[in-house]
Amino acid sequence: MRIETLAVHAGFAPDPTTGAVAPPLHLSTTFARDRDGVPLGGHVYVRESNPTQDALEAALAPLEGGAAALAFASGMAAGAALLQALPKGSHVVLPDDVYYGYRVAGVDFFREWGIETSSAAMEKVDSLRGAIRRETRLVWIETPSNPLMKVVDVAAAVSAAHEAGALAVVDNTFATPVLQRPLELGADVALHSTTKYFGGHSDVQGGALVFRSRDPFFERVLHARHVLGAVSSPFNSWLVLRGVRSLAVRVAAQSATALKVAEALAAHPAVARVNYPGLPGHPGHEAARRQMKAFGGMLSFHAAGGRDAALRAVGRAELFVRATSLGGVESLIEHRATSEGPASTTPQDLVRLSIGLEHADDLIADLQNALSG
């Protein structure tokens, strides 16, 4: 089945008791047992499992081509649960342009949990190989990366991880399974901030992990979610599931518009460089063409006039909303280093864009006006 059809039908069935086509939202925190103590519907307590979260997971697993999915309260919670399931003394290789929150978590928390991290420029597989140690248990891949839009050759990075006996996880938040399916490229786990494209409307926070197999590592992460509690609430599960149904058309439209925006920015004299894997000059263009169906709705650019010019352009935007996050129907613009805060390593001249569902011409006109000031 094609991804457009899967997005609509994965895990879908009309409610058997009412015939409702839209999935029911079960808010119950606790579930009844029969006289012999057997749970009537297979659920016991909301933190362990619940029907609305199950419905979301039943949609997510086939979308990524995985054996099982776990929904979480946020993308950060999903990533943390992965790390919490690793044995003490594990070493994890993170990309040098890993999403800011995970970098902060590595410094502020993972070390205290007994997990060492180091970073590698994973777009060069030799850099990844050089960072792998005897204790490496996990290689964390993010492609395209946030916010530099670096592209990692997933199959090559996964091979390097597996040769060292490590698991490979791919943060697939920017691409979504509509454009890129990491498990088919050999990865063990696909990670998502479902706050972004899955939710799609800037109104729900969530995270997800999709596993290639229901193996002991999956069971450990499931146990971590149950006991440590980073579950997706029923309402959030329901909202993310609603977003999944239109994911494929939104991402296709956002990708097509982003390419036009990237081309227009690349031709603008006030722009020093555009980071978008769809542009032939991008260093990861060939790898992106091999492993992605289109290049996604995210891009960033460097203002020719440096930090002040970047801040000025952000301040002059009218249609783009000045806000962080991504993947919603409305286009967003941000000075990324300001959003990330003092520990940011993002270049000061960088502006990040999340392309929404507006017409490309209107977005380009807005940016041209913002950059002309």
Ligand X SMILES: Cc1ncc(COP(=O)(O)O)c(C=O)c1O
Rank residues 208 and 371 by Cβ distance to ligand X and give the closer one: 208
User: Which listed residue (137, 150, 196, 352) is catalytic?
Assistant: 196
Site string for ligand X, 177-216 (x = CB under 6 A): ----------------x-x---------x-x---------
Question: What is the sign of the dihedral through the CA atoms of 324, 201, 99 and 91?
Answer: positive
**Nearest alpha carbon to residue 297 among 276, 272, 281, 324:** 276
- Tell me the C-alpha to C-alpha distance, in Å, between residue 118 and each of 25, 98, 113, 115, 154: 42, 11, 15, 10, 19
**Nearest alpha carbon to residue 82 among 190, 204, 175, 213:** 190
- 64 is a site residue for ligand X (CB under 6 A): no
Rank residues 31 and 276 by Cβ distance to ligand X and give the closer one: 276
Q: Shortest gap between Cβ of 133 and ligand X (angstroms)?
A: 24
# residues contacting ligand X (CB under 6 A)? 14
Q: Which amino acid is at 190?
A: A
Up-side HSE of residue 214: CA atoms within 13 Å toward CB? Answer: 5
Q: Shortest gap between Cβ of 298 and ligand X (angstroms)?
A: 9
Span from 124-132, 171-179, 253-261, 264-272 in contact with ligand X (CB under 6 A):
171-179
Quick check: is 47 catalytic?
A: yes
**Strand 207-211 to 189-193 pairing:** antiparallel
Span from 87-95, 167-175, 264-272, 315-323 in contact with ligand X (CB under 6 A):
167-175
Q: Shortest gap between Cβ of 203 and ligand X (angstroms)?
A: 13
Q: Shortest gap between Cβ of 99 and ligand X (angstroms)?
A: 4
User: Which listed residue (97, 99, 102, 352) is catalytic?
Assistant: 99
- 173 is a site residue for ligand X (CB under 6 A): yes
Q: Identify any residues that bridge with 231 across adjacent strands, giving them in sequence order.
A: 72
Quick check: is 260 catalytic?
A: no
Q: Shortest gap between Cβ of 193 and ligand X (angstroms)?
A: 3
Do 67 and 212 contact (CB within 8 A), yes or no? yes
Could you tell me where the DSSP H helices lie in 153-215? 154-163, 176-179
Question: What is the sign of the dihedral through the CA atoms of 345, 300, 152 and 67?
Answer: positive
User: Distance (Å, rounded) from C-alpha 299 to C-alpha 149?
Assistant: 7
**Nearest alpha carbon to residue 237 among 9, 32, 363, 51:** 51
- 101 is a site residue for ligand X (CB under 6 A): yes
Q: Shortest gap between Cβ of 192 and ligand X (angstroms)?
A: 8
- 300 is a site residue for ligand X (CB under 6 A): no
User: Which listed residue (153, 171, 349, 366) is catalytic?
Assistant: 171
**Strand 350-354 to 271-275 pairing:** unpaired
Crossing angle of helices 360-371/247-266, nearest 10°? 40
- 146 is a site residue for ligand X (CB under 6 A): yes
Q: Shortest gap between Cβ of 323 and ligand X (angstroms)?
A: 12
Among 57, 97, 123, 171, binds ligand X (CB under 6 A): 171
Burial annotation 256-287 (CB, 10 A radius, 16+ → b, else e): ebbbbbbebbeebebbbbbbbbbbeebebbeb
Quick check: is 196 catalytic?
A: yes
Span from 70-78, 160-168, 253-261, 275-283 in contact with ligand X (CB under 6 A):
70-78
Among 50, 74, 236, 291, binds ligand X (CB under 6 A): 74
Site string for ligand X, 259-278 (x = CB under 6 A): --------------------
**Token pair recorded at residue 147:** 């916010």
Quick check: is 361 catalytic?
A: no
Instruction: Give Cα 353 to chain centroid, integer Å.
Output: 16
Residue nearest ligand X by beta-carbon distance: 75
Residues that bind ligand X (CB under 6 A): 74-76, 99, 101, 142, 146, 171, 173-174, 193, 195, 205, 207
User: Active-site residue numbers?
Assistant: 47, 99, 171, 196
